[in-house]
Amino acid sequence: MQQTFHPTLILGGGFAGLFTALHLSHQNYSHPIILIEQRDRFSFKPLLYELLSGELHSTQVYPRYEELLAGSSVTFVQDTAKSIHPHQRRVTLASGKVCDYSNLVLALGSKTTYFDTPGAAEYAMLFTSGKEAMALRKHLQHRLHQAIQTQDSERRRQLVTVAIIGAGPAGIELACTLADLLPIWYDELGGDADEIRVALVNRSREILKGDVNSHLRCTVQRALKRRVVSVDFLFDAAVTKIHADGVEYRQHEQTQILQAGTIVWTAGTAPNPLLMELPVPNNRGRLVVTPTLQLPDFPEIFAAGDCATDRDHPQPTTAQVAYQQGKAIAHNLKRLEEGKPAIPVQIQMRGTLMKLGLNEGVANLFNKVQIKGQPGHLIREATYLQLLPNSAHNRKVTTEWLTDELFQRHRPFSHMQLGQTPWLYGVATVAAGLILAAPLIWRAAEPMQFQQNLSWTGVPTLLDRLTPPAR
């Protein structure tokens, strides 16, 4: 008689959840796999700036789950998890459905918090999903159109001012992108690009405080100034209220108002409230997991990404961590299915990447080497394009190809103090340049062969977009 299994349920289709599902499917996992996600599309958050600017298309950065999972063994259910009952091994959904599971993966990410700031929920826009990125794009274009028709110069200045609350990585990357992009858009409409103002409002004096990118501070500060319009940095500015047309803040014991046509809130995250109801320990709202990413009292439940932490090996809340954890959970679930024990998860921090404008970025390899400017931008974009789940869907190895080229092959350098050693910095830059140049040379010499061999990686498309081939 054939044995029937309860499915493996995955709650949340972000980096941790989606990649758990995709990797399980690639491993021919025999249990049914059900992915429950409240939205219909996956948001590739590191590339939302490119969606906003139009540098990348929504089908790349904001694809539908149905399309991503077509042909896989994953069943996608668009619904919201409402309660989790670990003792009964059961989840209830907003639709009223009840799902029993044999294994559960909690990958619900985090939520935005406004720290009870009056007016923030009403008047500030968010930038955490594809939907929000597209709404912001539409809003900004509307503001520029309004401005171009406005005679009153004070009102026009207000319409073309953007206030971004929070100088963490998302606030900074957004500010840099808009400070390059808005002057172009406004100029195309016939506006005076010098009128555009992008202001970054931050509670403390420090940017990137406590963030994994904090050692990039100097590079970032220079980049903020070097944009098409330089970004205004309002520091020691505690936002007290958001109005429909501006931000009120306390600075040097005085209340100030920044008139702005667009206000974007990037300042805080809070735990997913659903997880706080579970009878398990948490650390500042993140579920405490074992090194194998299981809940200590419920080993059939795994948790990963922004909503979980291993106290002994804490990891930053980043996509690259969530992605690797998703893959590791799939591996461990497969081991459990084969009657083998789960094994501890090794996360390899391959460095960090930041967008610092339309054509500028920084790739920080192993916290030792910084590759800046256009090369940094190319490395960042190429690395993330390889992680797009479309390619993971084709074959999991594609997701790691260029990332490995860029980060892992240089591992022998990783113990050296490259950041302080100019010649090694130069060597690393040249090496990265060669890695980028090799496909260009191949494409020029053997265009057909290049296309045939690498079309599955997305690299030909990327190169064609960045440097169109000579005709």
Ligand X SMILES: Cc1cc2nc3c(=O)[nH]c(=O)nc-3n(C[C@H](O)[C@H](O)[C@H](O)COP(=O)(O)OP(=O)(O)OC[C@H]3O[C@@H](n4cnc5c(N)ncnc54)[C@H](O)[C@@H]3O)c2cc1C
Instruction: Give the residues lining the site for ligand X (CB under 6 A).
Output: 11-17, 36-39, 45-46, 48, 80-81, 107-109, 127-128, 170, 272, 274, 305-307, 317-320, 322, 353
**6 versus 39: smaller Cβ distance to ligand X:** 39
* Nearer Cβ to ligand X (159/216): 216
**Smallest distance, Å, CB 148 to ligand X?**
28
Nearer to ligand X, 81 or 229 (CB): 81
Using the minimum distance from each CB to ligand X, give the nearer residue, 63 or 191. Answer: 63
Cβ proximity to ligand X: between 14 and 183 the closer is 14
- Minimum CB–partner distance for residue 36 and ligand X (Å): 5
The sign of the torsion formed by the CA atoms of 378, 381, 384, 386 equals: negative
Alpha helices by DSSP H, listed for 191-284, are: 217-225, 273-276
Smallest gap from Cβ 45 to ligand X, in A, equals 3
At its nearest, how many Å lie between ligand X and the CB of residue 347?
Answer: 12
For residue 148, give every residue at least 6 positions away whose Cβ sits within 8 Å of its Cβ, in sequence order, or none. 186, 189, 190, 191
| Smallest gap from residue 124 Cβ to ligand X (A) | 14
Smallest distance, Å, CB 129 to ligand X?
A: 7
Name the closest residue to ligand X (Cβ).
Answer: 14
Q: How near is the Cβ of 16 to ligand X at its closest, in Å? A: 4
**CB nearer to ligand X: pick between 159 and 392:** 392
Inter-residue contact 364 to 182 (CB < 8 Å): no
Question: Which residues have a Cβ under 8 Å from the Cβ of 204 and sit 6 or more positions away?
Answer: 235, 236
**Packed helices 422-445 and 373-387: angle between N→C axes, nearest 10 degrees:** 60
CA angle 29, 34, 37 (to 5 degrees): 140
Tokens of 85: 């009952």
Q: Round to whole Å and give the CA distance between 24 and 30.
A: 9
In the complex, minimum distance from the CB of residue 82 to ligand X, in angstroms, rounded to a whole number: 7
Q: Which is nearer to ligand X, 140 or 159 (CB)?
A: 140
Contacts of 209 (CB under 8 A, 6+ apart): 167, 168
Sign of dihedral through CA atoms 321, 326, 327, 331? positive
d(CA 221, CA 454): 37
What would the two tokens of residue 30 be?
A: 């025999």
287 and 280 in contact (C-beta within 8 Å)? yes
* Other C-beta atoms lying within 10 Å of the C-beta of residue 448: 7
Distance in Å, CB of 162 to ligand X, minimum? 15
Q: By C-beta, is 158 or 386 nearer to ligand X?
A: 386
Output the furthest CA–CA distance in the chain (Å, rounded). Answer: 80
CA distances (Å), origin 170, targets 175, 223, 348: 8, 15, 22
Nearer to ligand X by C-beta: 13 or 460? 13
